[in-house]
Structure 1
Amino acid sequence: MYQFNYGYELLELTKKFNKPISEIVMLAEQERTGEDLEVIFEKMKKNLQVMREAINKGLNEDIKSVSGLSGGDAKKLYARIVIGNTLSCETMAKAAASALAVTEVNASMGRIVAAPTAGSSGVIPGALITVARKFGKNEDDMTKALFTASGIGIIIAKNATLAGAEGGCQAEVGSASAMAAGALVELMGGTPEQCLTAAAFAIMNLLGLVCDPVAGLVEIPCEKRNALGALNAMICADFAIAGMDSVIPFDEVVETMYRVGKAIPSALRETAEGGLAKTPTAMRLKKEIFEKEKRGD
């Protein structure tokens, strides 16, 4: 009754039952698993708590990745925010710092929520938790928004891909940004149609983004792309709430992302055989990391 495969089907369900996307997704999960709605809701709330903990850890502790390639950048950016010295507005800078924080915790083998993947784990918490704090939204509001995000992610997974190895970084950070954009719209009282419009905008903006991790590790340039994905989600949510039309429907945008992903050369799909991963500096770093691992350092 509540199952959906496409965006248009999800919108039809919201109209039929006069419910927001988050509630349709929860009912679909109840229908699929047989679990009580309260149990389903509490599980998602635990995900939110893990997201919050990862942000706090990344912003306040001296994080260093296992490889040594990254760590501490979230804390550096947050320090500039504290003294009011960022070029972007405070909210945008906090979202970027929070997204970076989560990805740095991931690279240091800390606990994160893969939403939708570990490589894109900073986008949703960075955007959602920052916006929720600014507007005084509570845990239940944020948890509902996460269900909206998951509904968008389900559609992308069914009709395209969430894997950088299959579709490039557009499939990871792009999908996460779309999920975050839709979640923000519902959080701020937008309509289901506006949620999918925001998601469509978010993917459009990152269409064709390649996956070229330095040394094959989800650090450079992945972490900074997470920050970009969070900011992209926020402006795309603003676009939709303001009444802008994506023109190209969400489902068609998702299908386009899949086709573009298939057209991206394999060297630019998480193989570390192209893009930034093949620069002289990246090759040197890869060699240094390999030698360090051989020595057991």
Structure 2
Amino acid sequence: MRFRTLNDIAEICKRESLTISELMIAEQAKETGQPEEDIVRQMAGYYGVMKEAVRKGLEGDTRSSSGLTGGDGRRVNEYASSMEPSVGDWAGKAMAYALSVSEVNASMGRIVATPTAGSCGILPGVFVSSQERFGWEDEKLTAGLFAAGAIGYVIANNSFISGAEGGCQAEVGSAIGMAAGALVELRGGTPEQAVHAVGLALKNTLGLICDPVAGLVEVPCIVRNGLGAVNALAAADMALAGVRSVIPSDEVIGVMLEIGTKMPMEHRETALGGLAQTPTGRKLTEQVKAGNGASAGRPG
């Protein structure tokens, strides 16, 4: 790749009058030797999987085998459709869709890890709800995934995307940044604005630990996906309004690396600290180990 940082991306795009997605498609074609058409076709397939995961999460049985989670995406979607969500109708939809996809993952359904399975609901939640809201064609959203991929590439090569390495800031935080930056491009923002959206998003999740109850990607992971989708929408709107990340986004990524490196092992996907070791967390862990599970739809 010709870029290593978000600043590199912004500068190349400005100099060559490219969008982030156009730059990423060209770079991936060069790196793999595949025609751009083939690369775009493959990404379109991934977007199809995301849309299907949203549908399945809303309509199917997403109860996990542990019994810890299931059905919350459908509950939030019904609420958003019949009531007036405090976050607004479309943010409510994004939240519901993100929860649904994450529940499909927990129930062993098919998802796209963006950038990980633990954060798989955020991009679909933002993308599919935005597509419905603005009437975009699949081709536009497919291009948006390349923009998200470029952002994820930079984060992965300069910090973490793995909860075991850097905590949940690395999984959910990265996904929020990817979704926020991509949404800015989808809505006609500049690459520079997209880069600022990433910094705004990441700063909101710095220090977020990874503390899955019973070591499963369910509690609190699924709820964090739902809330993460709303955070991504907010960060994108701030950037489109002209809000800038005072600390450059690449420096924010560096701080995420610093914090993740210093984060105690107990707070990095080991289930040895945080919510996993609360009295309720320990009780649920014992129930899962005993094969008894918990009531489906239990709050995350």
The bucket for the TM-score relative to the shorter chain is: over 0.9
Distance 1:30 1:60 in 2: 37
Overall identity of the aligned pairs, in % = 48
- Asked whether the 8 Å contact 1:196–1:250 carries over to 2, the reply is yes
Q: Which amino acid aligns with 1:22?
A: S
More off after superposition, 284-293 vs 92-101: 284-293
Counterpart for residue 177 of structure 2: 178
Counterpart for residue 198 of structure 1: 197
Counterpart for residue 138 of structure 1: 137
Counterpart for residue 288 of structure 1: 287
Q: Which amino acid aligns with 1:224?
A: V
Q: Which amino acid aligns with 1:71?
A: G
Deviations 1:5-29 (A, max 9, x none): 1112112221232110001000110
Distance 2:37 2:20 in 1: 17
- Asked whether the 8 Å contact 2:144–2:183 carries over to 1, the reply is yes
Q: Which runs of 5+ in 2 are unaligned?
A: 293-300
Deviations 1:214-256 (A, max 9, x none): 0000100000101111111100000000011111111101011
SS of structure 2 residue aligned to 1:206: coil
Shift in Å, 1:132: 2.0
SS of structure 2 residue aligned to 1:145: helix
Distance 1:36 1:17 in 2: 21
SS of structure 1 residue aligned to 2:204: helix
Counterpart for residue 125 of structure 1: 124
Shift in Å, 1:88: 2.4
- Asked whether the 8 Å contact 2:7–2:195 carries over to 1, the reply is no
Counterpart for residue 110 of structure 2: 111
Distance 1:230 1:157 in 2: 20
- Show structure 1 runs of 4+ deviating over 2 A: 84-88
Question: Structure 1 length normalisation: TM-score?
Answer: 0.96
- Residues 1:42 and 2:8 aligned together: no
Distance 1:182 1:55 in 2: 21
Deviations 1:65-87 (A, max 9, x none): 12111001111111112212433
- Residues 1:33 and 2:71 aligned together: no
Counterparts in 2 of 1:160-175, with a 5 A limit?
A: 160-175=159-174
- Asked whether the 8 Å contact 1:213–1:222 carries over to 2, the reply is yes
More off after superposition, 213-222 vs 72-81: 72-81
Distance 1:184 1:10 in 2: 16
Distance 2:196 2:64 in 1: 36
Counterpart for residue 20 of structure 1: 19
Counterpart for residue 149 of structure 2: 150
- Asked whether the 8 Å contact 2:81–2:89 carries over to 1, the reply is no
- Residues 1:95 and 2:94 aligned together: yes
Distance 1:87 1:65 in 2: 28
Deviations 1:77-102 (A, max 9, x none): 11112212433211011000000000
- Asked whether the 8 Å contact 1:128–1:183 carries over to 2, the reply is no
Q: Which amino acid aligns with 1:150?
A: G
- Asked whether the 8 Å contact 1:6–1:251 carries over to 2, the reply is yes
Q: Which runs of 5+ in 1 are unaligned?
A: none
| RMSD between aligned residues | 1.2
Distance 1:61 1:129 in 2: 18
- Asked whether the 8 Å contact 1:210–1:268 carries over to 2, the reply is yes
Counterparts in 2 of 1:238-257, with a 5 A limit?
A: 238-257=237-256
Q: Which amino acid aligns with 1:111?
A: R
- Asked whether the 8 Å contact 1:198–1:239 carries over to 2, the reply is yes
Counterpart for residue 262 of structure 1: 261
Distance 1:87 1:14 in 2: 37
Counterpart for residue 295 of structure 2: none
SS of structure 2 residue aligned to 1:32: helix
Q: Which amino acid aligns with 2:122?
A: V
Q: Which amino acid aligns with 2:64?
A: S
- Asked whether the 8 Å contact 2:211–2:270 carries over to 1, the reply is yes
Counterpart for residue 296 of structure 2: none
Aligned length: 293
- Residues 1:86 and 2:78 aligned together: no
Shift in Å, 1:164: 0.4
- Asked whether the 8 Å contact 2:13–2:19 carries over to 1, the reply is yes
Distance 1:79 1:133 in 2: 16
